[in-house]
Amino acid sequence: MQSVLRSRIMYAYIVTLLLGLALLYFADPVLKEISLALDANTLTAKSRDLISSFASALVFFAVFVMSRRIPAMIGPGTAGYFLSKPLSRTRLLTYTLLSSMIVNASIIGLCMAIFGAALLIILPAGPSGADIALQISLEILVLMIYAPILFFLGLLTRSGSYAFMICFTIWLVAWVLPGREGFLMFFNSDILSALADALYYVLPKSSKIVEFAYPRVSGLQAGLDWMPIWSSALSALGAYGLGIIRFRRMDL
């Protein structure tokens, strides 16, 4: 925790938070004017988009920080230090993953809570505190699901940059896969279709997880769809398992 608080990435979090708050402050008159013209559901949806955009920036930094964690730990000169301690590799990886998740989730949660509180003050007619808390939790959940994937990629590539880039690619692919029928119709290929289906079920469903909050935040009465959360949690568990297997077999 101390080392994260001392790191330069903390400046990125703080600057992003300040930028977000400044945006809300300067946009205050405009937002209030718009809020008068919009119905409650549309206003809530707009607020949700605002929170989501802010969360994306924070999650981006968190993913960046976490992608470097494992390559730094298994790098030359550092691996010997950690692996010579009386901890099994499974425990070492698990502790590192958990500490990284807790620290980054806490920082992001705090930043988003401050931003959410500011939004509540500016738009009292917008989403409720509970709605914002739900959305913040889901954004953090997405980060938690990607953390084991990042760690596995870090173990596989031994490079923070590669892990970050591949993870970003996975996130993009996972984002578009729910709408795969739309582009698969142009190819008319069974193999491609099967591949896209397989990827859809294997990769986390980050867009669907965030959408979990939509019915509630948008005031809709549609039933909550838990499947993307369970399925993504299984993907994360799978990545964690593969990470453990990989780490235990690695010569460092």
Instruction: Using CB atoms within 10 Å of the CB of residue 194, give its burial: 0 to 12 exposed, 13 to 18 middle, 19+ buried.
Output: exposed
Residue 30 neighbours by CB under 8 Å, 6+ apart: none
The 5-44 contact track toward other proteins, x by CB under 8 A, reads: -xx-------------------------------------
Give the residue with the Cβ less far from other proteins, 171 or 247: 247
Q: How far is the CB of 111 from other proteins (least distance, A)?
A: 21
Q: Which stretch binds other proteins (CB under 8 A): 3-11, 22-30, 49-57, 180-188?
A: 3-11
Give the residue with the Cβ less far from other proteins, 76 or 182: 76
**Angle, alpha carbons 117-119-122 (nearest 5°):** 115
Give the residue with the Cβ less far from other proteins, 155 or 213: 155
Does 79 contact other proteins by CB under 8 A? yes
SS (H, E, C) the chain: CHHHHHCCHHHHHHHHHHHHHHHHHHHHHHHHHHHHHCCHHHHHHHHHHHHHHHHHHHHHHHHHHHHHHHHHHCCCCCHHHHHCCCCCHHHHHHHHHHHHHHHHHHHHHHHHHHHHHHHHHHCCCCCCHHHHHHHHHHHHHHHHHHHHHHHHHHHHHCCHHHHHHHHHHHHHHHHHHHHHHHHHCCCCCHHHHHHHHHHHHHCCCHHHHHHCCHHHHCCCCCCCCCHHHHHHHHHHHHHHHHHHHHHHHCCC
Contacting residue, 41, 88, 106, 128, with other proteins by CB under 8 A: 88
Q: How far is the CB of 252 from other proteins (least distance, A)?
A: 6
Q: How far is the CB of 76 from other proteins (least distance, A)?
A: 7
Give the residue with the Cβ less far from other proteins, 53 or 88: 88
Does 99 contact other proteins by CB under 8 A? no
Q: How far is the CB of 124 from other proteins (least distance, A)?
A: 42
Contacting residue, 87, 102, 224, 245, with other proteins by CB under 8 A: 87
The 39-78 contact track toward other proteins, x by CB under 8 A, reads: ---------------------------------x--xxxx
Contacting residue, 29, 86, 182, 223, with other proteins by CB under 8 A: 86
* Chain residues in the site for other proteins (CB under 8 A): 2-3, 6-7, 72, 75-89, 91, 249, 251-252
